[in-house]
Chains A and B, each alone.
Chain A
């Protein structure tokens, strides 16, 4: 898709600027056009994009380019920072009531995932030590109550239902009484999906709200929603004054620009994201991660920052010398791996590298599990073996495999990879010497 190359496009635009202290207005405008397209392709609402671009343009023009960064990266940083600021700077949690039960009401369009998400939320709160109950207030869609019951029983959370002949308002009231009398401290009300322009059904939600006075009204939004999401979020927010948003279906490959639009028009936080088929697939929303997903480009800056914070300069120099002298050993390898691990999950690191297409990386399959296995193998080697891998013969391999719980083939392939990496690193550093960026290179990315 087009926006994958945003970083590249920006770099092209700014290439000719190298050495200049300031960006000209024209350069910035040109760059902003690309940013605009990237945001629109990510489904961020047109009006939100317009405003955003104005803010970023202003900021880009005002600031001096930092000496250590290229202008392209500087603008990317501003874009990223502004986007993160717009997404909200920190995580927000559920407001629990001082006097139980805490009442949570789930609202949204048809098909946004309210029922499944209600189950996930109940499961999540249960794992946090709460005692939740689910309430079936969708009396319209065929088998909706049954669906909630199935979900409830699979996570061992009771479902309060009064069939589909009672009004949702009465069901909600009944459920709250039931929870009070039976010591449930969280009540999650699953309402029917409805269009934001359906006045009758929107009034029904208002009536439920007035009747049970929820602590949290959460709008469930499909992450794949396009431009119209602003109308939906605005209507629900105007009618119900929602407390937050749950973004669903984020396990798809959508950029999820809807998140930004919703935040911008309602000023309400996104509290959770749901991303998977299992009832455990729900997590607290991290605004900063969403920003780079929407932009669809590698977050060069935080990668550099992360690498800098984890690898101290002196050690890096030492390492470089070792590589140059071909003395790089398994011990160094292990140290590097641990440094890598401290930087965060591997796949996340990969997604930060610009130009790396995650879908193409599928064949590479480097997971944290693989790293753990590599660690185990190295740790099963003797000191001598680590320093001088060439002494590892058949019987030593057998011992290492047994010690690390792996197979001889796996030990073999690690040793082979190690030798290859060593060779490759030598080439890297030779290259690095001439371009003077060698010491920032992370030798194990490939």
Chain B
């Protein structure tokens, strides 16, 4: 199974001894996704079936049900058809390898590790209710555990009690927080946050922003202003803009990613709520169409249930 990984120079041994715990967790977190996804594929392929159009149609259905989207699904299926012909694949179970390979190829293109230099400002953006504040809580925990000095900036000055919510996370993680009154200008909170970060020598600055629908022009302008302030005031910092996406989101996520990218140069995606039954297949479309990599995935409610994304591990966890 998954023979094509062996061809990859990536060291299996390393992977095993290195982060076995993490990998196991990822696998566990993705259990439901995997069960839904691969169990279905297996049930199609296990019968020693012939490789025909009907088989591909059923695979197409599975991908669409995983929110991969019509366009990307058709692309994947077309590639699979060509390869199946080229490699003269006769048995249906080899098709699974082919599918894993296709998804891996999309996710792996231009992959580079998520490197954090000090100082790094991470701007967390997204539509309403995707889990931005909770994700910041988890990120703060992660970097704190790595021994970094973390500063939270409460730039969601709009939603009722958003600042209080972030404060609770600051308390849990024992890190500092910069905040203003509810209703104040978020860009000025970021301005103060950066000043504080410089003064206190923070390594990681996590900026919470208010949830906003990408088609609200004025709210996107507000976000651009925040981004401009960050760039101008923190020129020696590495600035990452991470878009938080709810795994249950459908095709609209592509539009979200596109518009947020245009506005504030999104450098990565955090895919949350993967512990439900949603498959989050839309990230495959987003990678394929917009080349935005996934950086973290949220696989549970626990504070340490946020994991760094690695396409190889992801595809493995999905298919094994």
Contacts and interface: CB of A to CB of B under 8 A. Distances in A.
Contacts of B70: 2, 37, 40-41
Given A110-B129, A110-B273, A41 B251 contact: yes
A111 B273 CA distance: 10
B215 A228 contact: no
A1 B70 CA distance: 12
A141 B253 CA distance: 25
A112 B278 CA distance: 14
A149 B159 CA distance: 12
Interface stretch (B45-53, B98-106, B161-169, B228-236): B161-169
B164 A46 contact: no
B161 A46 contact: no
A252 B161 contact: no
Contact of B64 (A1, A46, A112): A46
Given A142-B168, A143-B164, A227 B64 contact: yes
A352 B271 CA distance: 36
Interface stretch (A253-261, A336-344, A400-408): A253-261
A232 B213 contact: no
Given A46-B64, A225-B250, A252-B214, A195 B276 contact: yes
A252 B160 contact: no
A134 interface: no
Interface string A181-210: 000000000000001110000000000000
Interface in A101-129: 109-113, 115
A253 B64 contact: no
A150 interface: yes
B131 interface: yes
A226 B32 contact: no
B174 to A, nearest CB: 15
B275 interface: yes
Contacts of B32: 197
Given A46-B61, A110-B129, A143-B161, A197 B252 contact: no
A146 interface: yes
A150 B129 contact: no
B305 to A, nearest CB: 13
Interface in A245-301: 249, 251-255, 257-258, 277
Nearest to B131: A111
A197 B66 CA distance: 17
B311 interface: no
B160 A225 contact: no
A148 B275 CA distance: 26
B127 interface: yes
A227 B273 contact: no
B165 A143 contact: yes
B248 A222 contact: yes
A224 interface: yes
B71 interface: yes
B203 interface: no
Contacts of B65: 45-46, 227
A327 B251 CA distance: 51
A146 B160 CA distance: 8
Contacts of A224: 127, 246, 249-250, 252-253
B69 to A, nearest CB: 7
Given A112-B129, A147-B160, A227-B66, A258 B250 contact: yes
Contacts of B279: 227-228
B251 A111 contact: no
Contacts of B162: 143, 147
Contacts of B61: 46
B67 interface: yes
B251 A43 contact: yes
B79 interface: no
A32 interface: no
Contacts of B250: 43, 224-227, 229, 254, 257-258
Max count, chain A CB within 10 A of own CB: residue among B66, B159, B275: B159
Nearest to B171: A142
Contact of A142 (B159, B165, B213): B165
Contacts of A252: 127, 213-215, 252
B239 interface: no
B129 A146 contact: no
Given A195-B276, A226-B282, A249 B164 contact: no
A363 to B, nearest CB: 12
B129 A226 contact: no
A37 B74 CA distance: 11
B265 interface: no
Contacts of A149: 161
Interface string A208-235: 0000000000000010111111011000
Interface string A326-361: 000000000000000000000000000000000000
A115 B164 CA distance: 15
Contacts of A111: 128-131, 246, 273
B276 A141 contact: no
A227 B33 CA distance: 13
B251 A225 contact: no
Contacts of A109: 248, 273, 276
B275 A225 contact: no
A226 B249 contact: yes
Contacts of A148: 160
Nearest to B168: A142
A183 B249 CA distance: 41
B67 A227 contact: yes
Contacts of A142: 164-165, 168-169
B139 to A, nearest CB: 15
A231 B64 CA distance: 15
A258 B214 CA distance: 19
29 contacts: A2-B70, A2-B71, A111-B131, A112-B129, A113-B128, A115-B160, A142-B165, A143-B162, A143-B168, A144-B161, A146-B160, A146-B161, A146-B165, A147-B164, A154-B160, A197-B32, A224-B246, A224-B249, A224-B250, A227-B64, A227-B279, A228-B67, A249-B127, A251-B215, A252-B214, A253-B214, A253-B215, A254-B255, A277-B158
Interface of A: 1-2, 37, 40-43, 45-46, 109-113, 115, 141-144, 146-151, 154, 195-197, 222, 224-229, 231-232, 249, 251-255, 257-258, 277
Q: Which 5 A-B pairs have the closest CB atoms?
A: A226-B250, A111-B129, A43-B250, A150-B160, A142-B168
Given A41-B69, A141-B134, 11 more contacts: A41-B70, A111-B273, A115-B160, A144-B165, A147-B162, A197-B276, A224-B249, A226-B67, A228-B276, A254-B251, A254-B255
